[in-house]
């Protein structure tokens, strides 16, 4: 149990690991990775049956999908050319190593298999969970925009090409796999555009 406790404490690092994209955009009190994980899991709870995927499996997959970031930190996906600091393959390799280690003390290989399934995106469940991950991010952007949680009058070297929180929609737009994900994205984007008073730049 002592060994498990040390690993549990490492899992709990996700509660304090802030989402890098929001930090770069100077969001006031940005969410943690754990908060994002909760949001993704809640979306799976609410929408799994509409996509005819197993709710419990989808929620479990959502809960472990960013587990590796407890060690690697959150490496943001960027839309602007030259902004991505780590390649997709490098990111996956580092997170795979972390997840493999973090689940080992609990003798639960199913968690690693779910994480690997999510990364592969070749099953309906994995595609659905990824879409809910993207939807969560867009919902959070809408929430921050409505709450005026950043100062858009200040120059931000991290967001030279995109205004407001457009980049978060731009990174999500081409990555959806399901009609449900696309539908939710369009609804959220419409509300976001109403808030900013112009079309979102994708």
201 assigned to some structural domain: no
Q: Is 18 helix (H, G, I), strand (E, B) or coil?
A: strand
C-alpha span between 49 and 183 (Å, rounded): 16
Query: Among candidates 113, 93, 111, which has minimal Cα distance to 102?
Result: 111
| Main-chain phi, psi angles of 2, to 5 degrees | -60, -40
Confidence class of residue 80 from pLDDT cuts 50, 70 and 90?
A: low
Asked whether residue 148 is domain-assigned, the answer is: yes
Report the number of distinct structural domains present in the chain.
1
| CATH (domain of 163) | 1.10.3210.10
Domain for residue 202, yes or no?
no
Confidence of residue 3 (pLDDT cuts 50, 70, 90): confident
N-term to C-term CA, the chain: 49
Q: Is 185 part of any domain?
A: yes
What's the predicted TM-score (pTM) here? 0.92
Query: Considering only CA atoms, which of 130, 124, 141 is closest in space to residue 50?
Result: 124
> What is the chain's mean pLDDT, rounded?
93
Residue 70: inside a domain, yes or no?
A: yes
Place of tokens 């979306």: 43
pLDDT above 70: residue 84: no
Contacts of 31 (CB under 8 A, 6+ apart): 18, 19, 22, 140
Residue 182 lies in a domain: yes
Residue 120 resides in a domain: yes
Nearest to 121 by CA among 111, 105, 133: 133
Residue with more model confidence, 136 or 77: 136
pLDDT at 153 over 90: no
CA angle 91, 175, 101 (to 5 degrees): 30
Residue percentage of the chain with pLDDT more than 90: 80
Quick: pLDDT tens for 166-191: 999 999 999 999 999 999 999 999 99
Q: Which domain holds residue 182?
A: 2-196
Query: Which tens digits make up the pLDDT trace of 24-69?
Result: 999 999 999 999 999 999 999 999 999 999 999 999 999 999 999 9
Residue 158 in this model has a pLDDT that exceeds 90: no
């Amino acid at each position: 149990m002592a060994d498990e406790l040390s690993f549990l404490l490492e899992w709990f690092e996700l509660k304090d690991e802030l989402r890098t994209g929001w930090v770069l955009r100077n969001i006031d009190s940005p969410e943690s990775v754990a908060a994002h994980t909760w949001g993704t899991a809640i979306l799976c709870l609410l929408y799994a049956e509409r996509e005819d995927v197993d709710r419990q499996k989808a929620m479990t997959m959502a809960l472990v999908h960013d587990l590796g970031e407890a060690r690697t930190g959150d490496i943001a996906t960027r839309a602007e050319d030259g902004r991505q600091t780590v390649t997709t393959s490098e990111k996956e390799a580092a997170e795979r190593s972390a997840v493999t280690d973090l689940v080992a003390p609990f003798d639960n290989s199913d968690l690693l298999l779910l994480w690997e399934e999510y990364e592969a995106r070749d099953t309906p469940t994995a595609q659905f969970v990824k879409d809910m991950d993207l939807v969560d991010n867009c919902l959070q952007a809408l929430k921050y925009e409505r709450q005026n949680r950043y100062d858009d009058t200040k120059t931000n070297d991290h967001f030279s090409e995109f205004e407001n929180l457009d980049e978060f929609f731009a990174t999500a737009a081409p990555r959806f796999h399901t009609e449900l994900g696309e539908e939710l994205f369009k609804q959220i984007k419409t509300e976001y555009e109403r808030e900013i008073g112009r079309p979102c730049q994708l």
